[in-house]
Structure 1
């Protein structure tokens, strides 16, 4: 049968390679199904008791990507054994480059998704348990640097395994960059300013901002070289270089707002003044470590329901204005603080139900 298959490669190459690809893909998929089991086995070896919890919370949500990565790795390895070891196929190096690139891409996506889940499930909780103010912007920068390091590591490994002179590439880019920098210094400063604005996000399109020179208006567009501001009153369009904006004190009036988070706790009985004071203290202590939370505005109200047999606690918290991923991280930190608050109240023997989800309401600040 094997000789007949090999003779098919000479008589009908197209049919031969079609059968080869289908058989190899089927084998790769079957081997890929084993990868989740191997991952759990390795986690049990290194993480001991926490392996099952870690796998279910971090890896299990991305099981499809894990299986796909295993299938891609199996396809690459078996193809290398057959096409390079058993049969020598001249065009295999080109095929191997594409296979390894696909494997690196899927692996990078898997690690990226797993890291995001790990960041949300573990690092945010650890930050709050540290007992210090949790700076959401610092967490955001740390997540960005970790992801950038992951991408750079995968790119470096891919380049080294395929004999790509990565040092030479960076050196060439460095020499070329120096030459360009001298010839277009001002333009580069403006372009880099645009990159800083896109990363730091001090303002967005449609935000009202004020500059130290008296310019005040609505941001109409943010370009790589300059930002266009429609001035209030006159209606003229001010074109401000991005390099000037990143060095100036920009006052964002649209960002002057709070997001009001309302949490409801339903107790199964009425509570006295001493228990109310305890509940108020637990709520304040559980939320005081969140950076960006206006503790001075926190309001905790008690209401009697069902003729005084039940008590409802309304905790109104205010998250200071932030945009994009930073606000999302602050909301996640608040959810973790709610879990801590729940555990502490139950440890005091106070039974209750917490209404889901937390209500978020934009609360503009009067300027």
Structure 2
């Protein structure tokens, strides 16, 4: 009985206000919680597919990374916190354990949120990830999001630890406004760069016209976009200026519309004039890669009878466009030459009376003047 009494007395003894039995139950709960968490993490890490280098990441692989980024230290702290809920500890000890758990929890949540935000951004831009400009913009956005996530996590940690974050937030706000005002133009170009990359009004390699300038886009930078002009020089344009101006993107042109006005002389016979629309239609339709629209005798011009022809070149390539237009112009010229139809050019016809009529008119005017003088 003495041994049993000793064991009973030992179990009934208290340490920091809790019996050894309570401490044992709390320890067992902590160990069980940690064991279950580790087993679940091990099971999920083996069940979910791991991301492969060089390939797009899918959501099961993102979950695998979230599991892999679950810290063992966080699981240990969480298990201790769960176990201490069964113990009657001093308030200072409870606050210390709660504070450590809160810090570990928010840090772990920030790690998860950082990875989820990066995955969402990569998913939204998955079609553009192969472009260097988009990769740079994605890295920049990820950096901004990472700063925002960790700043929010730190503020929540300080607030839950009992610190007054109002003054800190106000100070950060004032400082942020001052920095934004000082770097207004730089920030404007930065966000304009993101707008260009995400909205994609043009991309590297596109031929664009903006204002009175034109050229091929070579690089979309953080502050400027570099454009190679047709004359050879490189033009550096502020991203803000490009966002605020009207940009014509000729690289994305799928078809090119051509309006051709043919002027023939006024002495062209009516039957030949009536044949011109059908003649031109046959020439245009015989050309591959071209869609005929219409041909009409449009108007009586100042020096020509005008026939308007409209057709489409089924390609956005400028060289193809010029080749088709040249071939059709040659064919029309040859057809008009064979049919005896003359092209008109700006001219005026001056009708001069005969010399005899002019002399008679002058004599009559002289007689009238003499009669008037005698009277």
Using the size of structure 1 for normalisation, the TM-score is 0.37
Structure with max Cα Rg: 2
Task: Kindly indicate whether structure 1 or structure 2 has the higher relative contact order, using CA contacts under 8 Å at least 6 residues apart.
Answer: 1
